[in-house]
Structure 1
Amino acid sequence: MLPDARPGEPFTTPAWLAEAHRSPGAAPSGPVGDRFYAATASPLDGGLTAWWLRDETVQRTLTAELEAERRRTRFLAEASSALLASLNLERCMEVTARLAAEHLADAAVVIAQTGARRLPVVVRDQHGRVTRSSVAAAPESVPGLDEALQGFPPVPPRWIDPATAPAWLVPEGFGPVGAMAVTPLPGLGLSAGALILLRRARHAAFDASEAEFAGLFAARAGAAMSAARLYAEQNQVADTLMRALLPPTLRHVEGTEFAGGYRASVDTDRVGGDFYDVHPPGEDCAETLAVLGDVAGKGLDAAVITGRIRSTLHALRPMADDHGRMLRLLNNAMRSEGGRVRFATLVLASAHREGASVTLRLTSAGHPPPLIVRRDGTVEEADTGGTLIGVLPEITSRTAHVRLAPGETCLLYTDGVTEAKGGPLGDVQFGEERLKRALAECGGLPAAAVVERVQMLTDAWIGGGRHDDIAVLAITAPRGGVPDDVDTATGGSRTV
């Protein structure tokens, strides 16, 4: 305990104990050599004092280790929250570099896994600055980096000789590098990248405990980066599919106005079970084919079925001169898919310009019949009907022939309009009669204005209440003729 003491000889008392001896009542403690002691005074006769020393080295070491572990646990919890706060890969890389430089090293470099020839790199330097870049370098140029980016088999952190590191790894003005470590960032099933820690020459090198702690941090950072990458990939796929499912932009085709509007049952969704399409005439079809339909169900699941129906109808467009045959083939295609029974109702409308008028062939398959808005405000139901699609092995249909004079409109709509609940009590359906009265005020209006009028009244009726998918499609014989290449006022694909 007191290696310099000799029996019967004076010795130099540790300063902390000598000070306590001169200040009675204190509870002193302090080091003696490489040990730590707490002292307790015991009065003796003759005004002397005996000091009892208790070795607290182990207890103090355990307390310090416990506190250090608590600090690390708090840091890992805070790091996890910060890393998972964003599903943006670049943001995750920046957070990883910042946290690593603040708590593990003097500077940090984060390299993301990529299949490209250039490595995405984020650097947090010794001054706290974060820079992003793309480096044209092979992973093999940095010892341990190639293994860390491969991800399997998992490898521990690797200490590398700073002299072997390429210049792009060391921040400008960093000075001599004392220690450098390459730590893998394990992701979800594969590597998310690598974390490179740098310490200056005057600072201590990484010990085993710090290396283990860096590995724990890297596991959380890798999981966050991997989740961000997966989210970005899924978001890109979803966005690509979503663009294919969104209602198309409608244009004037062959002197006929087309305008449409759509609102999903959930305002945060962009697609649902209602849809419309307009197929211009071509070599295989002399008429413009318009389609509006309603698939059973809501949300993305129903939107996938609408995508299949739209693709099938596009392939069947050469048969548009025979609506009945087209519907029978669509019915067979839907029933042949097997699995859960899915059905749909829809309306086919073939439009052909004849002078100033537009002739229509309208065929309903289990769908509300289209409404014809005459210039004088008269509203008529098209005489068409038929069997819904996707349930029965045999279907029937009846086609109506309608002529639109200039300024007259044919409105195709889904039951989301007439069954929309709202009004003063919040539970009354909009209904067909209310829709007809609204259309009676639209005589002579352009197609886009008719769609906007129906949407405005329906939205006002619903208010903040729940509703089904809503789709409307207006076909109008323009007053005075409209150039074929002019868009409608609303673009025809506005999603509300």
Structure 2
Amino acid sequence: MTAPTPAVVPAPALLTAVFEAASEAMVLCATAGDVVVMANQAARRLLTGARPGRRVAAPLPADGADSFQAEHEGRQLYGMRRSVDDQHYAWFLRDRTESAALEVERSRTAFLAEAGRRLSASLHVRRTVRTTVELAAAHLADAAIVVLPPSRRQSDWTRLLPGLPVEEGTLREPQLGEVPGLVEALGGFPPIPSRWLDPAQAPAWLVPAGFGPVGALLVTPLPGNAEPAGALILARCGAGAAFTGEDEALARVFAARAGAAIAAAVLYREQVDTAAVLQADLLPPELPQPDGFELSGSYQAAGDTMRVGGDFYDVFGPATAGGDTMIALGDVCGTGPEAAVLTGKVRQTLRALGLVQSEPAAMLTVLNEALLQSARQPRFVTMVVGSVRRADHGRVRLELASGGHPAPLVLRADGTVEEVPTSGTLIGVLPRTVVRPATVELAPGELCLLYSDGLTEARGGPSGTEQFGEDRLHHALAECRGMPGAATVDRLRQLVADWVRGGGSDDIAMLAVRAPSRTPLSLRDGGAPTPSPYVVAARRSDRRPRTTRP
């Protein structure tokens, strides 16, 4: 039988060498008196006071705790205590400085990512400013105030304090100088370090008394587009409060993002306000109601983002008492902003010609010359221009001239729909335009409809691609016999919308002129139709009226 191999007991020198070679910091302590027995090289680098024979000192706890986490000489240390035997225990130490710094950096990166996401979610100035103070108060300070640049000798401010809702108000320009560094920040100067600002100089209106004493103040500009978008004021309460260099650096990065978001929102608001002013002048006018006839209009732009486009109608009153009321409806080549600009130019030209009492045909001729001289690129217009006046016996007389536009339609008292025989060449294309005007008389209750080709070319129906077409328009208009002009226009617009069923369409404009009825609708419908006194005096016209009966 083989004898057992005796156990090999390492020499103390070998154990000491292994202890010293360990990469993990270890401190061996005696239970009696908490005296350090041994500390390896890794432990001595972290704890300069860990020497054999010395009593356990901070950051090592001497109260029997099983673990600790503390900052020591600029490093974040973590330790775990393990019992070795009845007389000894050991501390195993780890340096978590780099991991703690990494954790802080991750936290700051997450904060900036959240800030970028929330700040870019809106182009509303007030909402963006409120988001700025909410983020700043949650991550950077106890209180946050955003002050916008002065306008009309006062500045808007937004403030968020702990436990309170967001507050808003205005500051008079002299009050800005009461906050240390605020005037400089609003002027775009680099931020003043927090240690140079005396929080005791902060005015009472900046932070209410219930907030407590301000221990640290930081004022940072909000960079914008070529000029500051405002200033961010951060405050921390408590006598020992302070902003570190890292805090100030993070605040500057956040302020840069917040300033860019606020500046973008301000720019967007300015563009919207400018567009609204321009659109207000380009939108169809509020129609007057002259004595002797009714005017009704409808306009629908092709795009959802703009309320104006290439189709338009306009009505301008007589230049002198007793003069004719001028009407116009046209279609500019194209859609969108470029077409809207040309629409405005055409309308202003027509209004100027109306002041000199030009005839419709002459107005189209002058407009053609004006467009040829001013157009940067070939853009044509089709349109109908007319003059309207009250005639004898409740009738209404229209003189109409067309330049390449669909002929107006007349709805008679008996439900007949007829085309007005006026025609002409496109406006803004040929050096010389040819116009064939026509005169129309409306009896009481009859209506003349001017419309753009977006109405007949609207695609939809069962196939989704079929045009609404002239025949459907004639039939739909005939069904509006006896209806007021506004109701007729609304019905046609609804029929086309139902035909398109939410699909895309071109700009659609309609303008209706109606002679008031002599008798109520109920009495007229009960008897026989009244013969139409319709007379069309077409000048140089070779077209025959088109008649449609329901």
Change (3 A) 1:284 1:300: farther
**Do residues 367 (structure 1) and 411 (structure 2) align?**
no
Q: Confirm or deny: 8 A CA contact 2:181 2:192 kept in the other structure.
A: no
Q: Confirm or deny: 8 A CA contact 1:41 1:49 kept in the other structure.
A: no
Counterpart of 1:391 (choices 404, 414, 429) is 429
Q: 1:210 corresponds to which residue?
A: 247
- Rounded to whole Å, the distance in 1 between the matches of 2:70 and 2:517 is 100
Counterpart of 1:339 (choices 353, 376, 397) is 376
- Rounded to whole Å, the distance in 2 between the matches of 1:154 and 1:5 is 46
The superposition leaves residues 307-326 of structure 1 with CA deviations (integer Å, 9 ceiling, x where unpaired) of 11111111111344422221
**Do residues 85 (structure 1) and 85 (structure 2) align?**
no
Counterpart of 2:360 (choices 295, 311, 323) is 323
- Rounded to whole Å, the distance in 2 between the matches of 1:454 and 1:216 is 57
Q: 1:12 corresponds to which residue?
A: 56
Q: CA deviation at 1:338?
A: 3.3
- Rounded to whole Å, the distance in 2 between the matches of 1:240 and 1:32 is 62
Q: 2:386 corresponds to which residue?
A: 349
The number of equivalent residue pairs is: 470
Counterpart of 1:457 (choices 495, 503, 506) is 495
Q: Confirm or deny: 8 A CA contact 2:59 2:70 kept in the other structure.
A: no
Q: Confirm or deny: 8 A CA contact 1:292 1:413 kept in the other structure.
A: yes
Q: Confirm or deny: 8 A CA contact 2:404 2:424 kept in the other structure.
A: yes
- Rounded to whole Å, the distance in 2 between the matches of 1:11 and 1:332 is 105
Q: CA deviation at 1:225?
A: 1.0
Q: CA deviation at 1:66?
A: 1.0
Once the two structures are superposed, the pairs formed by residues 424-463 of structure 1 within 5 Å of their partners are: 424-463=462-501
Secondary structure, in 3 states, of the residue corresponding to 1:190? coil
**Do residues 118 (structure 1) and 162 (structure 2) align?**
no
Change (3 A) 1:39 1:134: closer
Secondary structure, in 3 states, of the residue corresponding to 2:177? helix
Farther-moved stretch of structure 1 (418-427 vs 308-317): 418-427
Counterpart of 1:173 (choices 194, 204, 210) is 210
- Rounded to whole Å, the distance in 1 between the matches of 2:167 and 2:69 is 46
Change (3 A) 1:18 1:110: closer
Change (3 A) 1:4 1:112: closer
Secondary structure, in 3 states, of the residue corresponding to 1:141? coil
Q: Confirm or deny: 8 A CA contact 1:285 1:318 kept in the other structure.
A: no
Q: CA deviation at 1:453?
A: 2.4
Q: CA deviation at 1:203?
A: 4.3
Change (3 A) 1:320 1:454: farther
**Do residues 238 (structure 1) and 281 (structure 2) align?**
no
* Runs of at least 5 residues in structure 2 that lack an aligned partner in the other structure: 1-43, 521-550
- Rounded to whole Å, the distance in 2 between the matches of 1:326 and 1:154 is 62
Aligned-pair RMSD on alpha carbons? 2.9
- Rounded to whole Å, the distance in 1 between the matches of 2:483 and 2:401 is 24
Change (3 A) 1:130 1:203: farther
Counterpart of 1:197 (choices 229, 234, 251) is 234
Q: 1:491 corresponds to which residue?
A: none
| Higher relative contact order, chain-length normalized (CA < 8 Å, sep 6+) | 1
- Rounded to whole Å, the distance in 2 between the matches of 1:277 and 1:172 is 62
Amino acid at match of 1:108: A
Q: CA deviation at 1:172?
A: 3.7
Farther-moved stretch of structure 1 (234-243 vs 263-272): 263-272
Q: Confirm or deny: 8 A CA contact 1:157 1:215 kept in the other structure.
A: no
Secondary structure, in 3 states, of the residue corresponding to 2:454? helix
Change (3 A) 1:449 1:47: closer
- Rounded to whole Å, the distance in 1 between the matches of 2:254 and 2:222 is 9
Change (3 A) 1:423 1:10: closer
Amino acid at match of 1:197: L
Change (3 A) 1:381 1:42: same
Amino acid at match of 1:228: A
**Do residues 306 (structure 1) and 350 (structure 2) align?**
no
Q: CA deviation at 1:339?
A: 1.8
- Rounded to whole Å, the distance in 2 between the matches of 1:17 and 1:441 is 97
Q: Confirm or deny: 8 A CA contact 2:221 2:232 kept in the other structure.
A: yes
- Rounded to whole Å, the distance in 2 between the matches of 1:160 and 1:111 is 18
Counterpart of 2:417 (choices 367, 379, 383) is 379
The superposition leaves residues 114-139 of structure 1 with CA deviations (integer Å, 9 ceiling, x where unpaired) of 32212211111132332111122423
Q: 1:66 corresponds to which residue?
A: 102
Change (3 A) 1:367 1:224: same
Amino acid at match of 2:150: T
- Rounded to whole Å, the distance in 2 between the matches of 1:134 and 1:30 is 47
Q: CA deviation at 1:418?
A: 1.3
Change (3 A) 1:38 1:311: same
Q: 2:186 corresponds to which residue?
A: 149
**Do residues 220 (structure 1) and 257 (structure 2) align?**
yes
Amino acid at match of 1:373: L
Once the two structures are superposed, the pairs formed by residues 387-426 of structure 1 within 5 Å of their partners are: 387-426=425-464
The superposition leaves residues 296-349 of structure 1 with CA deviations (integer Å, 9 ceiling, x where unpaired) of 111232122111111111111134442222112211221222322111100011
The superposition leaves residues 359-411 of structure 1 with CA deviations (integer Å, 9 ceiling, x where unpaired) of 11010000011111111112211111111111111111011011111111111
Amino acid at match of 1:318: L
Change (3 A) 1:257 1:183: same
Q: Confirm or deny: 8 A CA contact 1:285 1:320 kept in the other structure.
A: no
Q: CA deviation at 1:449?
A: 2.2
Q: Confirm or deny: 8 A CA contact 2:423 2:437 kept in the other structure.
A: yes
The superposition leaves residues 151-185 of structure 1 with CA deviations (integer Å, 9 ceiling, x where unpaired) of 2x544555421222222112341121111111111
Change (3 A) 1:323 1:144: same
